[in-house]
Structure 1
Amino acid sequence: MHLSAFMPSRVDIFCKIVDNFGDIGVSWRLAQQLASEYGVTIQLWVDDVALAKQFAVVGHPRITLQHWHATAAFTQAADVVIETFGCELPAAYQQAMLRQRSIWLNVDYLSAEPWVESFHAQPSPQANGLVRYFFYPGFTPATGGLLREASLPALQADAQWQAVGLTAAPDLLTLSLFCYAHAPLAALVESLQHSLNPVRLLVPETIAPMLADTLGVSKLQVGERIARQNCTYYILPFLSQPDYDRLLTLCDFNFVRGEDSWIRALWAGKPMIWQPYQQSEDTHLRKLEAFMDHYLPLSTGTTAEHSLRNAMLAWAQGTWQTEHWQALLQAWPQISHHATAFKTRQSQQADLVTNLVIFIEKCLAHRV
């Protein structure tokens, strides 16, 4: 545990759960790392406590879940308040922050776009007298970095299939699938069923209804297995965050989405495809291109680079074809090496919470 002369004993974190998983997934990891590695007591304010408890599982002795609702009473603000993803702090709490002279940070969405470096850690004075600092995760030293707890390497090194309720399948390529509803799932199913290498696809229960529609079955239950040609589908239960990290490490290939699973797939060091959240005017494709510019330079001009870039764009645009999967298979040794190399290179940078604590310490040390 790291101790600091300036970090306060309590930090409040606010999170609105707008897409069921991403917001609370990131917020819970952030809270856990602050509590476990820096000994900070956390009040995590969420608008859906029941869903938050699915991520908390057994909880944490230094983290308390608080219900954030329209009539919630806010008596005293913390010295440091973290707003996640621009969720807008309650007016009553902001008044308490004024009395407490709180430091206010908005930990925003992860992006690889170049503008992030210019906006990271910049102050935004508010009309009520508070100053709101924007803290941007990112892939370069000029950003806030990526969430990466100190315990992650040990968890990955000890990962076993039994921990996630499965057995090893050395004769199959094992893939995990976490995607949005607009993913070209039918095309993926077609390509995997005609895969040159036999595969098994691990699908969480939240995606099972989509897969059932694609396969033409009425329903798929947790624990069910269904084989079609060269692909076998397994339906997984909801996994805790540590078990999901283990799963990504054990799989040969991971389809991920949004933010939390995206970061975790990168740390798994396995070949992956990221699906950004779909936005108007193809904004999500610009975000994808920016990420690929960071992710792919280690293999620029190679077959692996072309295969990955084409596959990621096709997955995001809904134009996936069997040829994309076949191209990935043909470049498998190269894309596997690339994933490991990217993880190693990115791990050399400071993680998000380390950078966040350093920034908070500076703000508190200079507070007047």
Structure 2
Amino acid sequence: MINMPRANHWDIFCSVVDNYGDIGVTWRLAKQMANEYHIPVNLWVDDLASFSHILPTLDPLKTAQSFNGVNIIHWIKPLPIEFVAGEVLIEAFACELPEQVKELLVHLHQNDPKSVPIWLNLEYLSAEDWVEGCHGLPSLQANGLKKYFYFPGFGAKTGGLICEQDLFAERDTWQADTANKLQLFSQLGLKGIEAQDTVISIFSYETEALPALCELWQQSAEKIHALIPKGRSLNSLTHLLPCDIAALVPGQQVKHGNLTLHILPMTNQQSFDRLLWSCDINIVRGEDSFMRAQWAAKPFIWHIYPQEDDYHMVKLEAFLKIYCDNLAPEIAENWSKLNFAFNQAQQSAVNLHWQNLNLVSLPLLQHVKQWPINAINAADLATRLVQFVKNS
């Protein structure tokens, strides 16, 4: 490995774990750095096939390609191109840097410590109290290098939340005209949805809570449309489908009573955002869709990724505590219980709390609109990250 002159670009390494969550957040961050801060970004990704589901123009067979000002490089062993150290090096979500990169960093440190990039470990998002105390702490590695732990979060002393500068204005413009959502549904091949119908997007893990809600929705006095991509959510609804999941096609409809299931095509991130903006409620999972559901200013259920010893329920409780802080007590109680019941697959409880929660109540709608403004807390993640690098 040749010691190359230091460049001003940033390198971000991402190992795709849950198909779309890790790469979804990382891709948004890379685009924002390139587009809003004009920082050259090299995004190293180990699974281009999964990545291509949210970036359809990506060629999974190409070693290197550029989109939205970001250089996307296939992360294989050994690296397909020579690694040149830039200003910042980010490990997304605790992935391990390639050994050849670590060797270069050690070599740079031995020859000129000032030439070593600022090394950050971008952690998963959490609303837990301890995050503020751990954010930004340095860790001395065995090889003598220093790595900082960067924690996204909801508090002023955390790393902030992923959010593009013009996102809220674009959302408000979109939601101001009903024609926008109807046009989007048409573009996605979804037929028979009227402006007054209730539309629910579903992007969850497997759970017995889904068939329970679908049974309730079938008996609704009004039409309900559930929009579901081919994937894990449908694994819980096979009894409602006319064929195997693999045989379903985008745009296909399955009707049961007043419930219509629509099979969604995979979309890019902009279309996914607009889909969330267009639905009356969004059931989401992971981290990326979890944040985008909040920015959509619509009611949502968060199906958090299950962890050992039910630690994910601790994370859920921490989030609900801050999210419901300004809600009326009875709304906050029902909202929290609905999310807990969904995550614990409590079928009867899910249905009960769904019916008790008035999704079109003015206090709730006011809350979901005000929450993004409060949550951004004066600065988004990219802005705080750039400032953190300057201060370091």
Residues 90 and 183 (structure 1), Cα distance of their counterparts in 2 relative to 1, 3 Å cut: farther
List gaps (5 residues or longer) in structure 1.
Answer: 1-7, 364-368
CA distance in 2, matches of 1:336, 1:154: 17
CA shift for structure 1 position 307: 1.4
The letter of the residue matching 2:309 is E
Give the one of 217, 241, 248 matched to 1:192: 217
Equivalent residue number for residue 5 of structure 1: none
The letter of the residue matching 2:294 is L
The answer to whether 1:263 aligns with 2:270 is no
Q: May I ask how many residue pairs the two structures share in their alignment? A: 356
Correspondence list, 1:96-135, <5 A: 96-98=104-106, 99=108, 100-135=115-150
Equivalent residue number for residue 314 of structure 1: 341
Residues 250 and 291 (structure 1), Cα distance of their counterparts in 2 relative to 1, 3 Å cut: same
CA distance in 2, matches of 1:310, 1:14: 37
Contact 2:203 2:284 in 1 (8 A): yes
Equivalent residue number for residue 350 of structure 1: 379
CA shift for structure 1 position 268: 0.6
SS at the partner of 1:138? coil
Equivalent residue number for residue 73 of structure 2: 66
The answer to whether 1:158 aligns with 2:183 is no
Q: TM-score, normalised by structure 2?
A: 0.86
CA shift for structure 1 position 198: 2.8
Equivalent residue number for residue 284 of structure 1: 312
CA distance in 2, matches of 1:236, 1:124: 44
Residues 132 and 330 (structure 1), Cα distance of their counterparts in 2 relative to 1, 3 Å cut: closer
| Identity within the alignment, % | 38
Correspondence list, 1:353-368, <5 A: 353-363=382-392
CA distance in 1, matches of 2:68, 2:260: 41
Residues 11 and 250 (structure 1), Cα distance of their counterparts in 2 relative to 1, 3 Å cut: same
| Greater Cα shift, 258-267 or 169-178 | 169-178
Indicate the RMSD between aligned Cα atoms, in angstroms. 2.0
The letter of the residue matching 1:65 is I
Runs of 4+ in 1 over 6 A off after TM superposition: none
Contact 2:208 2:236 in 1 (8 A): no
SS at the partner of 2:260? strand
SS at the partner of 2:358? helix
SS at the partner of 1:64? strand
| Greater Cα shift, 168-177 or 261-270 | 168-177
Equivalent residue number for residue 14 of structure 1: 13
Equivalent residue number for residue 60 of structure 2: none
Equivalent residue number for residue 277 of structure 2: 249
CA distance in 2, matches of 1:330, 1:260: 23
CA distance in 1, matches of 2:130, 2:335: 25
Equivalent residue number for residue 111 of structure 2: none
Residues 183 and 119 (structure 1), Cα distance of their counterparts in 2 relative to 1, 3 Å cut: farther
Equivalent residue number for residue 89 of structure 1: 97
Residues 140 and 68 (structure 1), Cα distance of their counterparts in 2 relative to 1, 3 Å cut: same
